[in-house]
Chains A and B, each alone.
Chain A
């Protein structure tokens, strides 16, 4: 199970990459493995204002559906449209081509409450796994 050192994480098994004012969000390798093949992902619309901790989409796999939570405050600027044709990218490259959406940060950023360091996330996924 891979947990890249340069990312931040959430207890809902999402990752956040913060570069300047932009946050890129996806689900972790652990989550992708636990779900099995993702068959459909519904993402927030570009231009939507999102709030940390609020549901903003859903991830459908063979056996289950999971809610996607927005980990930061901001405005959605881009969604990964490749996932519409090929949701399997989430399983193949959860931290790469399987990214889900981008948010222009309005507050908090890396200091948003609830974001975990790689070490903290590793502890969490060990205890739930």
Chain B
């Protein structure tokens, strides 16, 4: 099946992006140097096209209560203009998707789903949210994200928020407001997936290109060298560094840290399961049981002591194994599996997240990198925390 184009396909071509197929969409993987794109987000700001994400509106007088039953969070407790990170669970407590839900007005909620799971989320919400209107906006709404410490300064001059929202600088993290960006109607939210300050701009598909161009500014160039100096163009960043940025921030990725055979507790996200909310919700009984039992495996952060890069699926072995014969790791006991791994420009060494048996989580641990055990340090997540940096 031919992958779908985002509304910004022409922009990516103009910037010379390397494109890749992801969740049925043709997406920019990188524009130039990944390291430059990564540092642009950490030190300045950069633009992401996230139009592949699924947007679903749940509306009607009972929308809040209906969502309380559908997801494991507590959407009806969100104030208007606030956002919540939550999960759609199966009756057995497994995760079907992780979501951000924005309360846009008393009876209007915007649910943002992963591209690969949008159809599942839509079907489940339609089944679970009886009496409300569940509308798939994914083909009419695009999503542009601006992430980085300079995001507020870049976005503010071309943004007008509707009352009662304050100005952009005053917007709280995990909040959103209606307004205009470059004169185009948008829902602007202070959310992201990079561990930096930043905003996500939901706008009509036909408005994506003018909004992107206004943000990029004149002389927009890809990757290296962009975004330096007054009036310089803003860098664009692709899916490749979206992954290294969220990995450094210790944020889970569906299909890696989250999936139908993983509970939120194992992912270290027990706090998103609101067993304290009133009423039943899908997965409550199973999740309550899991909460009481404690996780059998736990998500750990690993910083490599060598430069070989751990990748998704590599085995985690017990001990700082150095006893290697040929290409065989000798005497190693497999205690877990890498869920995400990659180079980390901010840490300066390769990093990984891995599920390991709960009794092995304190280490010492090594990763079997294609037959050779590479020692790693167990570290607390996240690997990178902007609040500790500044």
Contact = CB atoms under 8 A, between A and B. Distances in A.
Given A37-B35, A39-B343, A88-B35, A63 B308 contact: no
Nearest to B342: A62
Contacts of B342: 62-63
Contacts of A63: 29, 240, 243, 342
Instruction: Name, among A33, A37, A40, A58, the residue most crowded by chain B CB atoms within 10 Å (CB to CB).
Output: A37
Interface residues of B, number: 18
A118 interface: no
B308 A42 contact: yes
A26 B203 CA distance: 46
Interface in B340-382: 342-343, 350, 370
B308 A37 contact: no
Interface string B307-328: 1110100000000000000000
Contact of B18 (A36, A40, A65): A36
Interface string A97-116: 00000000000000000000
A89 to B, nearest CB: 12
Contact of A39 (B18, B241, B309): B309
Question: Which secondary structure dominates where chain B touches chain A?
Answer: mixed
A62 to B, nearest CB: 5
B33 interface: yes
28 contacts: A33-B18, A36-B29, A36-B34, A36-B240, A37-B34, A39-B35, A39-B307, A39-B350, A40-B308, A40-B343, A42-B308, A60-B307, A60-B308, A60-B309, A60-B343, A62-B34, A62-B244, A62-B342, A62-B343, A63-B29, A63-B240, A63-B243, A65-B309, A65-B311, A65-B370, A88-B33, A88-B35, A91-B33
Interface of B: 18, 29-30, 33-35, 240-241, 243-244, 307-309, 311, 342-343, 350, 370
Given A37-B35, A88-B33, 6 more contacts: A36-B29, A39-B309, A39-B343, A40-B343, A60-B308, A88-B35
Interface of A: 33, 36-37, 39-40, 42, 58, 60, 62-63, 65, 88, 91
